[in-house]
């Protein structure tokens, strides 16, 4: 379902003609108050009295709908909590407690609560372009619905149109926010699509079509070309499926680019575990194992649409990991692109194999920074939970990604590479094996990937196993199922590189 049309308007909130007016609630010293951007005068006084009467809260994520008091043009009001006025500190936080993230979550909670196709005007704090962008991103992502496979007419429609009430000077923030939200929603769509319909070939075709729309160059290697050119990771993982692997390279190369960013995305369109078969219950969400590739592609598209002066290449390593008659076996030895050999001791540790191929290929273009993105390990969820991605790699690159995540509101945490873990990948028959120690599994997977990154190459590995797919109910601007993490962080990374 397309995101609702979104515009900016300097209209006074009391005069905004919409089905629903979204107003922020805050508090100071435990006293409920209307946030900046809310109606003033008699309508504002009546609105605050109504909010207190129904027990509305300023807590971030709360949303309560009430009839409009006299003096408002909108038919009803959603009271959206944005937290206490004194909630911000001098220090920012990777856990999303800053003011802009609270605005995103407030706007998203409000639009996620709208289910009847109404129009909504957002009278939330949007005085600056940064605030307007945050409100826009949150509202649009909260409005997201995946209804492509619904056959009935009772589907949740979400809001039909959004207006961000902001001064003209802040309008560019609405435009940028619309691009960021659309890219994130595009990644969600791909993650949510059933694997019957999204497989390596069809995924590559969808990416290629989108690239044409934006005049981004797309190159696709099919299974025969991959085998002929020595991409042993992709070829090995894809052997068990009737639907062969693909490697997609996207290229955005503006004139006077100030840096070169390479994105490498894991794109396992369905992961059964191969012959090292997963338990049945562990497969239910394995259509989401291509979330890294979806994020890499959509981030590049957003960067191109925003016209950022940075060259970006994206490498999407696409395969379906199935236990067919031709599937690779535990104890097989494969040769990764570039020459290193790997003993496959666990066919369910397949993502690192396809990423290794793509990482080596990405370095041939000599980028300034490589970021790989992958739903790589269950250990990431054990270590950091469902909402916080782990970031590893060279210190400078790792810290750059974490700083970008603070701007985007996507929660990330820097993780180390303990040197003693590397010995767990020693093999008696190959350069290394693909399954290392169980303890510190997230770190171990990153250490395996580091074997395919040249000395001196700036590189970050982002494990999004938990944050890419929400197995619980929606919250803030995050729905159930695909989340689109970390599209916005990747775009912020490119923006920082473009500034030098």
178 belongs to a structural domain = no
Q: Model confidence at 1, in pLDDT bands (50, 70, 90)? A: confident
Question: Rounded to an integer, what distance in angstroms lies between the CA atom of residue 11 and that of residue 164?
Answer: 9
- Residue 86: what pLDDT? 60
Give the pLDDT of residue 153: 63
CA atoms within 13 A on the CB side of 112: 22
DSSP H helices, 325-394, are 351-363, 378-384
pLDDT at 311: 98
Choosing from 106, 137, 167, the residue where a domain stops is 167
Q: Which two tokens stand for residue 412?
A: 């990330």
What does the pLDDT average to over 233-254? 98
Q: How confident is the model at residue 296, as a pLDDT?
A: 99
pLDDT band at residue 154 under the 50/70/90 scheme: low
Taking residues 398-413, report their average pLDDT. Answer: 97
Range of the domain at 285: 185-498
Active site residues per annotation = 278, 352
In CATH, what number is assigned to the domain containing residue 115? 3.40.220.10
pLDDT in tens, 293-338: 999 999 999 999 999 999 999 999 999 999 999 999 999 999 999 9
Global pTM reads 0.97
Confirm whether 180 is domain-assigned. Answer: no
Mean pLDDT, residues 54-71 taken together: 96
Do the domain assignments include residue 174? no
Whether 162 and 224 share a structural domain = no
337 in a domain, yes or no? yes
Q: Are residues 263 and 371 in the same domain?
A: yes
In tens, the pLDDT along 446-499 reads: 999 999 999 999 999 999 999 999 999 999 999 999 999 999 999 999 999 999
The string of pLDDT tens digits covering residues 324-380 is: 999 999 999 999 999 999 999 999 999 999 999 999 999 999 999 999 999 999 999
| 260 in a structural domain | yes
In a domain, 466, yes or no: yes
Identify the pLDDT of residue 90. 39
pLDDT computed for residue 28 by the predictor: 84
- Quote the pLDDT of residue 29: 84
Are 195 and 161 within one domain? no
| pLDDT band at 85; cut points 50, 70, 90 | confident
253 shares its domain with 287:
yes
Give yes or no for a contact between 23 and 47, defined as CB atoms under 8 angstroms apart: yes
* CATH number reported for the structural domain that contains residue 245 in this entry: 3.40.630.10
Q: Is there a single domain that holds both residue 105 and residue 201?
A: no
**pLDDT band for position 92 (cuts 50, 70, 90):** very low
| Domain-located, residue 150 | yes
Q: H helices of 197-280, where?
A: 200-214, 223-228, 232-238
- Specify burial of residue 308 (Cβ count, 10 A radius: 0-12, 13-18, 19+): buried
Instruction: Give the up-direction half-sphere exposure of residue 15: CA atoms within 13 A in the CB hemisphere.
Output: 4
Pick from 110, 140, 167: which residue ends a domain? 167
Q: Are 399 and 490 in contact (CB under 8 A)?
A: no
Residue 94 has pLDDT above 70, yes or no: no
What integer best gives the mean pLDDT of the chain? 96
The mean per-residue pLDDT over the stretch 209-214 comes to: 96
pLDDT at 95: 44
What is the rounded CA–CA span in Å between residue 306 and residue 185?
16
Number of domains in the chain: 2
- Let me know if residue 179 belongs to a domain: no
Q: Which residues contact 304 (CB under 8 A, 6 or more apart)?
A: 214, 215, 216, 252, 312
Residue 89, pLDDT score: 44
pLDDT value of residue 324: 97
């Amino acid at each position: 379902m397309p995101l609702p049309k979104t515009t900016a308007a300097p209209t006074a909130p009391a005069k905004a003609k919409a089905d629903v007016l979204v107003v922020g609630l805050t508090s100071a010293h435990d006293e409920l108050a209307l946030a900046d951007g809310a109606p003033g005068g008699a309508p504002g006084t009546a609105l605050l009295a109504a909010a207190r009467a129904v027990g509305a809260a300023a807590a971030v994520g709360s949303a309560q709908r009430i009839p409009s008091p006299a003096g408002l043009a909108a038919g009803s009001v959603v009271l959206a909590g944005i937290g206490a006025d004194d909630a911000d500190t001098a220090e920012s936080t990777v856990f999303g407690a800053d003011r802009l993230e609270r605005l995103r979550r407030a706007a998203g909670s409000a639009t996620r609560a709208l289910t009847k196709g109404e129009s909504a005007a957002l009278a939330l704090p949007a005085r600056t372009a940064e605030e307007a962008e945050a409100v826009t991103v949150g509202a649009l992502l909260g409005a997201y619905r995946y209804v492509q496979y619904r056959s009935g007419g009772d589907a949740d429609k979400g809001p039909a149109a959004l207006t961000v009430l902001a001064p003209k000077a802040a309008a560019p923030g609405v435009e940028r926010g619309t691009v960021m939200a659309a890219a994130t929603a595009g990644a969600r769509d791909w993650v949510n699509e059933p694997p019957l319909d999204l497989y390596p070939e069809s995924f590559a075709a969808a990416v290629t079509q989108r690239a044409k729309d934006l005049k981004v160059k797309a190159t696709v290697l099919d299974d025969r070309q991959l085998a002929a050119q020595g991409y042993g990771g992709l070829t090995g993982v894809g052997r068990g499926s009737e639907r062969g692997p693909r490697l997609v390279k996207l290229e955005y190369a503006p004139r006077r680019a100030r840096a070169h960013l390479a994105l490498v995305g894991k794109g396992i369109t369905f992961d059964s575990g191969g012959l090292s078969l997963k338990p049945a219950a562990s497969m239910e969400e394995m259509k989401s194992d291509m979330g890294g590739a979806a994020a890499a592609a959509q981030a590049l598209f957003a960067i191109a649409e925003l016209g950022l002066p940075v060259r970006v290449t994206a490498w999407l390593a696409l395969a379906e990991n199935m236990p067919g008659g031709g599937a690779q076996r535990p104890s097989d030895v494969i040769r990764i692109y570039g020459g290193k050999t790997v003993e496959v001791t666990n066919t369910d540790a397949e993502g690192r194999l396809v990423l290794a191929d793509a990482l080596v290929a990405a370095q041939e273009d000599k980028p300034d920074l490589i970021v790989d993105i992958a739903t790589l390990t269950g250990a990431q969820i054990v270590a950091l939970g469902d909402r916080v991605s782990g970031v590893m790699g060279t210190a400078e690159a790792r810290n750059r990604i974490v700083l970008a995540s603070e701007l985007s509101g996507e929660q990330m945490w820097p993780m180390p590479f303990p040197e003693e873990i590397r010995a767990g990948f020693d093999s008696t028959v190959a350069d290394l094996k693909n399954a290392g120690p169980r303890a510190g599994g997230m770190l171990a997977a990153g250490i395996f990937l580091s074997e395919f990154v040249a000395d001196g190459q700036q590189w970050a590995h982002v494990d999004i196993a938990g944050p890419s797919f929400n197995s619980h109910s929606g919250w803030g601007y995050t729905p159930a199922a695909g989340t689109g993490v970390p599209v916005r962080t990747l775009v912020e990374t490119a923006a920082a590189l473009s500034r030098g």
